[in-house]
Amino acid sequence: MAEKPQETRFLELEKDNFKKETLFRLKKGWILEFRSGATLFGTKYKILTNHPLEHGIGFRRSEFHLVPWQKASGSADESAFFAPVLLRQAGAFEYYYEDEDSKSQLGHGYFVVDPVLQIAKGVDGLPETLPLDSIVLQTVVTKLLGPLPEWDARLRVARETNYNMLHFTPVQELGDSNSGYALSDQLKVSHKIANSMGDLEKEIQRIYQEYNVLSIVDIVLNHTATSSPWLKDQPQATYNMENSPHLRPAFLLDFVLKQFSEEISEGQLADRGIPRIISEASQLDKIKEILWHEKFPAVKLHEFYLADTHLIVEQFRAKCRDYKDYRKESEGIKDLDFEEPKTWERFGATVDLESARVFFHAPVSADGNNPETDPRIEECTIALKHWIEKKNGERYTTVQSHLSAALNGISGSVWYERMQQDGPHYGAVSREHPLVAPYFHTFEQFSTLEAAEAAMKDSHRGRLIMAHNGWVMSFDPLKNFAASDCNVYLRRELIPWCDNVKLRYGDSPHDCPFLWSRMRDYVTQMCSIFHGLRLDNAHSTPIAVAEYMLDAGRTINPDIYVIAELFTGSEGRDNIFVNRLGITSLIREAGNGQDSHDLGRQIHRYGGDPVGALVQLPRARLRACMAHALLYDQTHDNPSMIKKHSLSDVLPTAAAVSMAFCAAGSTRGYDELVPFAVDIVNEKRLYQKFVDKSAGPGELDIKAGILAARQELNRIHNYLANKGYSQIFVDQMDPDTMAITRHNPTDHSSYICVLRNAFSQPGPDVFKNAPPLRPMEVEGTLEGIVMESLLFITGESSYVENPDFITGLSGHYDLYFERGVSFAKSRFVSVDDWTQKAFHKRKINFKYFPPGSVIILKTTIGFQPAMSLSKINGSLQNNLASTKISELSKNFTVADLNRILFRTNAEEQDDGLGGGVYHIDRIPPLPYCGLQSFQTLLEKIRIHNDLGHPLCENLRAGNWMMDYISGRLRYFENTVALADWLDSVFANVKEMPRYLIPQYFDIVITKVFDTVTHESLDRFGPVVSQGSAFTRLLALGTYQFCGIVLSSKLPLLSPNLTPPVPPVVKRLGSELQFSTAVSLSAGHEHFSVGWARNWGRDTFIALRGLLLLTRQFQDARFIILSYAGCLRHGLIPNLLSEGTGARYNARDAVWFWLYSIQQYVALAPDGQNILKDTVSRMYKTDDAEAATPGKFDEPLHATIQEALLKHCQGLNFRERNAGWNLDREMNWEGFNNSIGVDLATGFVYGGNPNNCGTWMDKMGSSEQAGIKGKPATPRDGSAIEIVALCKSAVDWLSEMYRKGAYPTDRVAWKTSAGQEKVLKFDDWSKLIQQSFEPRFYVGPDDGKSEYIRRDLVNKTPIYKDTYGSFTFWADYQFRPNICIAMVVAPEMFNVKNAWSVLEVIQARLVGPLGMRTLDAESD
């Protein structure tokens, strides 16, 4: 068996990308690879993570490690760097990246590594990995299991029904309330369960070894029972009146409500319309009236928020009389506010008197005229008094709004608990059921409000008045609702748990060492016994506390399984908790579905790829994802499914959850049809024991409830996850019926579960006359019925609760359940003979399928598709397919690869074969006809598994796309063999079921594309073949822009050219012959065919990157020589138009042409031989007509020399055919060209204000704006890049002369007056060198330069863009042409000046992947 490839996920980092709400899930053993995104190119930065980088190094959350950069072996490309991290540990990890110089953070994020769980015995008897998606978990309330010796009998039902994980509520000693989550001692096992934690550990190990079942337990971190024995000794661990005095007003309000409740319970208010039993809205209105008008005013809670006006005013007056200078930190203060009370006494708000002095402009020196009664002080004092009174008024209003909210909260609570139809209906107000639940726990009773307030203020007694914990609806889970900046307790927004007090950790272990230490011991103890933890009330547990505790737990069990239920209100908020805590699975509740469609949405949402999804490559982009789900049919704190939906819905909902591709959960009692939710606080009865055959009370067997069906559903859930059924499809067949398909993407077998929900209980007649259901069609072979089941309701429920045991319904239902039933004996479906013999489509008829029905079928792909699949796999075996395609690719030319991979619509149509890009409905036209278009779409589809994409729809609908891809390659001899290979593989793809065709089309196209591009890029040399993905993509531009276009051929080369010469080929099926010399498109797709394709300037700017650095030297040679043949006026054509229609309006094209020749000589083997290559001159003189190839031949060096000569002599000509037909935007003067060399500086100059002679050649076209015929970028004069190209050229020619490769070292000519002139290359170079810096560099104003107009300078330092422009201000525009000049002639620049200008370029012009053409601040 071939070794499984290393799974790698790469993450492209971008600048200012902070991802606290983005979840990335990975697996141990994978590699996480960080790469630079576009916005970080050119930035020096480092990456750090707290994931250990070496084996044996422990995890410390605050300890970050530098991730070393690596690069592809032998790569010379800086962008090929990446930073890999081998994921060795499970848990929650962070990464961040920072600028190496400034140390500022550029980005930050998290990643979560899943734990690896193991069952004790796999198929070979050895421990075996339990995939997270195969978990089937049952929750049990621990206190209902009885003592340890009885656990085996009570838990055996879980083993018998194939659960592989048990979730225990807390096992610790419980508080006086007996609530399962009110722990009195976190470090002791409940005495009702075991004698010691050691005994418990042995039992958990027995369950693991004998049952093959893992166990997890709740941990409760944010509260403790009010009866916890350590509370009085460690009150600092709670929110009490001493350490949280901001809660004092809320406590007094709570006491007032307690007294009011006692008055009602004692009947004291009956004569005022408030009886002990509150049952009418008018009574509730009376309660609100008395509270608002009598009880609330009496306690005067607003006084805790106000300031003592008189006291502060007198203190302020005394402070002002000191006449001290203002404190520096108080100077410039613009606002003033109360300081929050420190002691929270009545009228305890204060004002910072020093700030008040500044705010009210108190004098700092005495008034000599009135030293005793300074009127300035009195003026300030009066202003302060008015200000305090205003602030007190505002505070009073705020407190009243809080009390109004509290009144509404009280009213809502009373309504729900005593009057709402689905409420608990507590009955009479009593001590056990007070009017409202208390918010605070006290260890002593107070008889009066004054006594309560006195105790509250007392240090010792106040610390024993503690806040209860509870639940706050819609509260920010990242905030502490007991903190001083929250008013939850005062506004009565808490739903309190009155048997617990809220724990106060502070921000770190230093704040409350006892509590942090105790809870750490608690968590690590549980991690040493159990395989996982459920973090109870996770959203209200301080996240820093949970981090600390889970980090400690993972030191004991690194692969601890962590689950939690979050109520944050958003997926992003959920992800914050998952990211920071490393939560493995989030609890989701199927019972929350509003109808069958909503349930199906959950099944689809929480896991699995869609059926037929494209294959995910082992090396792929890291995708953000959802948290892994643990989907419950019913949790232990949910209402009973029987009550919420119906008895008939228990089985189909369980089946739906079992078919989900995620962890599945249920609660004890669900399978036994217990018709109520087990009360976690008050329930004292025990679970029943499982026996082989039920014998009496307290016992049950496999026939109880839906246990028999659950046994099979759990087996199927486990099997599907373990065997790779990772794809899912949910089909809503009717409003109550869904079909859930789990599909194996390897062998293409499927399990299809059809179920009919009953969100309300159907009448008894429905089981006799079931509603019809449309037939279902499936593709493949029907292997059989795995199971079918139905809970028949035979009568009305007459449930009687057992006083000792928790029992389910019995006596009025029958469970029909069959495993492996034949189609002939099925109660639910029928399959006719035609269907069984059908080739692809199988039709299943539902003859009887009432609500509550479940059937699971298995299908396989079928014989013929299986044979095709075998052939496809054989054709695509890595080595075989790659070798075959590689062999074909070796013979492909640049033109062939242009056709295979790219080719625009216009280029394809230009072939005259009726072709064009492939049309796909509902998306824009494809950019190319070749494989790149399809591969780009497939990559996007793969990221999100978007099988609804129009490309996938097109493939499922027919075979046209496959025929198109191979068919267009059959017209050309070199690509026929590839077309044959594609057809042979596509023939088998076409035999697959239609829903699988996108998947296998993707596999074929990806294989061909990857192999062809790999082979074609390898020929470019190590810089490309071993470069980064970015470099390789850039290099594909060679095949993207270089091709053969019949309407835009290069001029023919001389027939006397020394071989190699471009061969002439014949198109298959026709007599058409054409040269294989490629030309370069100036841009897709407007500039890809006809007269618009070939432009001299664009060609030679791009030639080095597209053909020379990629080592396609012969293609480059043919292009250089073709353009050389069209030299006229000493210029290379701008618009080529096959030479006969050329335009000579680019004064830079000839210099880029010369630079390309220079680079060819430097890079190509024996490159200097090109200087002797034969050029066929189309125009022997400037005014000659076009000559036939070979008529006027000369060596390339002669053509070069003529270009230099013409420039030195000076060029003055008007374009041929000047006028509207040649250029619609240019004015009359623009067609005139004047170019020459300034012999004083050596600079090439030219152009006028009406034409564009350089690559920045946008001509204005708007008459309305007044710019028609005016260059958008006036660059006449001496352009900086042309000056540099010229210097580079003459330096190179001088060198070639010294090497004997060029016949002369000078240009010699006669002036119009007959004067002989000579300019040696070396002298020309020196002229430029001496003249450049004084005329182009603009530094700080030193007053020395005669060539700088300071009135036009808006930035320094810069190099001018031009020198001597008619539009004089244009010289000073700050443009990127400086960089071209620095690359081609670096020696021309003063190094210090160049570096200073580069810093400005970096700041003003450099973008993520390119450069701006103009600084925004340039005029």
* Residues designated catalytic: 536, 539, 637
Residue 229 neighbours by CB distance under 10 Å: 11
Render the burial of 716-732: b for 16+ CB within 10 Å, e for the rest: bbbebbbeebbbbbbee
Residue 695 neighbours by CB distance under 10 Å: 10
**Residue 1041 CA to its chain's centroid (Å):** 33
DSSP-assigned letters across all residues of 740-783: EEEE-TTT--EEEEEEE--SSPPPGGGGTSPPP---EEEESEEE
For the chain, the residue count is 1419
Q: What phi, psi does 829 have (nearest 5°)?
A: -130, 160
Residue with the two structure tokens 């200008």: 1397
DSSP state of 35: E
Residues 395 and 306 sit within 8 Å (Cβ to Cβ): yes
Return the amino acid letter for 351: V
DSSP state of 447: S
Residues 299 and 333 sit within 8 Å (Cβ to Cβ): no
Spatial distance between the Cα atoms of 310 and 320, rounded to a whole number of angstroms: 15
Residues 228 and 175 sit within 8 Å (Cβ to Cβ): yes
The backbone region for 903, taken as left when phi is positive above 0, alpha when psi lies in -120 to 50, beta otherwise, is left
Spatial distance between the Cα atoms of 204 and 147, rounded to a whole number of angstroms: 13
| 394, two tokens | 């505002």
DSSP H/E element including 1321: helix 1321-1336
Spatial distance between the Cα atoms of 257 and 263, rounded to a whole number of angstroms: 10
Render the burial of 1015-1036: b for 16+ CB within 10 Å, e for the rest: bbbebbeebbbbbbebbbebbb
Residues 1132 and 1150 sit within 8 Å (Cβ to Cβ): yes
The backbone region for 678, taken as left when phi is positive above 0, alpha when psi lies in -120 to 50, beta otherwise, is beta
Q: Check whether the bond before 1085 is cis (ω within 30° of 0).
A: yes
Which of 503, 504, 477 minimizes the C-alpha distance to 578? Answer: 477
Bridge-based pairing of strands 105-114 and 609-610 is unpaired
Spatial distance between the Cα atoms of 312 and 1022, rounded to a whole number of angstroms: 80
According to DSSP, the residues that pair with 813 across neighbouring strands are 793
Residue with the two structure tokens 């500039």: 1087
DSSP H/E element including 32: strand 31-36
Residues 6+ apart with CB under 8 A from 806: 144, 669, 672, 674, 678, 683, 685, 686, 687, 688
| 248, two tokens | 């004092």
Spatial distance between the Cα atoms of 1310 and 1331, rounded to a whole number of angstroms: 25
* Angle formed by the axes of helices 543-556 and 571-581, nearest 10°: 40
Q: What phi, psi does 1288 have (nearest 5°)?
A: -60, -40
Rounded to the nearest 5 degrees, what angle is found at the Cα of 738, between the Cα atoms of 734 and 741?
140
Residue with the two structure tokens 């048990």: 166
Spatial distance between the Cα atoms of 1245 and 1276, rounded to a whole number of angstroms: 7
Residue with the two structure tokens 């949402």: 605
Residues 550 and 452 sit within 8 Å (Cβ to Cβ): no
Spatial distance between the Cα atoms of 427 and 1016, rounded to a whole number of angstroms: 84
